[in-house]
Amino acid sequence: MEQIALGTSGRHTTRLGFGCGSIMGVLGRHDSLKLLESAFDSGIRHFDVAPRYGYGEAESCLGEFLQRHPGQITVTTKYGIFPPKNISLVSLGRQIAGPVIKKLPGFKKSLAKVAKATTPNAERPSFTAAQARASLNNSLAHLRTNHIDLWLLHDVEAGDLHDDTLLHLMEDLVQQGTIGSFGIGTHSDKVPALVAQHPAYCRTLQYEWSILDAAIDYSTPFRIHHRSLTNHFHDLHHALAKNKPLCDRWSASTDTDLSNPAALARLMLKASLVMNPASIILFSSKNPKHIQANALTAADITLEASARRLYELVQSEGDQLLLPNP
């Protein structure tokens, strides 16, 4: 799989990364580790996690996985959204519901809804050096490491960054070798203000991007993108299904049957890689077969022209599909 420098961290990793928001949660540790191994066996070497993921247990699970593959994996984690306070209750619920889930797969969705409903909204962080350092210490312990390749401020806004000691802490941690680099992980609409008002924090920018979005100027800084599919895939597939003449014409232009959900998803993911050649593209899945398929898509150079053509069509003619704003 294609490799890329991980920003200013000093390490190289794969351009396709695995988002660990899909591990733990309704999945137990055994199944979550199997997912991580599926990603590794598919050639993926970058893993993105956060203290909040998996109802607070994803970092610990990833830490166990890292012990199996020392020195072979790059990791991003974050500070800014705290883990839930009722981790033990969620874990107990998973243990009780596990046998039921295996017999009734549909029960997974119900358990996920219950877990989400019983998890309070995240407490807003202060984005101070002291709080950030405490969060990093917890992450290092859970990940069973003394070094994190990339550390991001999670869901931060420009107005949150009022304490310069936080920036000094992050710079010192790089010098000490505790983190390789740092940056921002937030929503795309928050990025312009952050870059304009706090450029020193923005060594890396991580935010959502799909083929519905405009192309990006890649002069600087380093970027990581996610949500290339998610809701946008369903929106585009539904819109094409309702407009058969346009779907047929686009299918002919891309030499791909875009009425086929798997084929459309494959081109959308490939378009994210092709249109963002200097970025890492993250995805998440609970299905090992989908993980393997996405890795094969990333490595398949024969899809590049079709993926680029799909992007051009969406940008030039997407208004005919009445797609929602990204």
Which of 231-235, 240-244, 319-323 is predicted with the least confidence, judged by mean pLDDT? 319-323
Residue 190 amino acid letter: K
Model confidence, pTM: 0.89
Cα gap 195→48, rounded to integer Å: 22
Please return the burial class of 286, using the count of CB atoms within 10 Å of its CB with bins 0-12, 13-18 and 19+: middle
Query: What percent of the chain clears pLDDT 70, i.e. is strictly above it?
Result: 87
321: pLDDT strictly greater than 90: no
DSSP bridge pairs for 75: 47
Token digits for 110?
A: 């119900």
Token digits for 69?
A: 């593959």
Cα gap 20→35, rounded to integer Å: 9
Assess contact for 51 and 20: CB atoms under 8 A: no
95: pLDDT strictly greater than 60: no
Tell me, what's the pLDDT at 319?
A: 85
SS3 state of residue 112 = helix
Q: Average pLDDT for residues 221-244, to the nearest whole number? A: 92
For 43: left if phi > 0, alpha if psi spans -120 to 50, otherwise beta; the answer is left
Q: Average pLDDT for residues 72-99, to the nearest whole number? A: 74
